[in-house]
Amino acid sequence: MDQRIGSGRSPATKRPRGFDLHAPPPPAIAKKLRSSSMMDPALMLLLFETPSGFAIFSFRAGVIEKPNALEEIWTHFILIGTAKSVVRLRNFQTFEDKSSAINQKTGVNESLTEMIMKCHFPGQRMAVGKPEYKKIIEENLKITCV
């Protein structure tokens, strides 16, 4: 009798149809991952400001840490497959007033803080687009920013 019925995986390892490997983990699993050493230190977060709000991406830190990163970064985005291996959207949120979400006087508001902390793992760095965001996030959220 052939033992290779189905996918060859045990029932415990089968995923339900429609399972999204790229979706953020459920809160209980995310909490366990944060407390374990399973987080890849090569992954960095990127806080990206858009006209309507903020997005958080995770990406391979090595892409920007090379001496010639600005000249070569585009090569990672020629094909969708290579782009997906470098960067992934983790979260996006619109804000009526982005200046109230993060500013020098009030720091980081509750909504943006929650969004960032859902994606952040202890010790993980975050790239930000403005020097003032770096200062505010490092002071208020204790996350190392570049």
Is residue 132 within 8 Å of 104, Cβ to Cβ?
Answer: yes
pTM for the whole thing? 0.67
Bridge partners of 133? none
The structure tokens 């999204």 sit at: 20
Q: Which residues of 25-58 are buried (b: 16+ CB within 10 A; e: fewer)?
A: eeeeeeeeebeeeeeeeeebbbbebeeebbbbbb
Strands 126-127 and 53-60: unpaired
Q: Which tokens go with 127?
A: 């790239």
The structure tokens 């804000």 sit at: 95
Q: Digits of tens for pLDDT over the chain (146 positions)?
A: 444 444 444 444 444 555 554 555 566 655 554 444 345 668 899 999 999 999 999 998 888 888 888 788 888 888 888 888 888 999 999 999 898 999 999 999 999 999 999 999 988 999 999 999 999 999 999 999 99
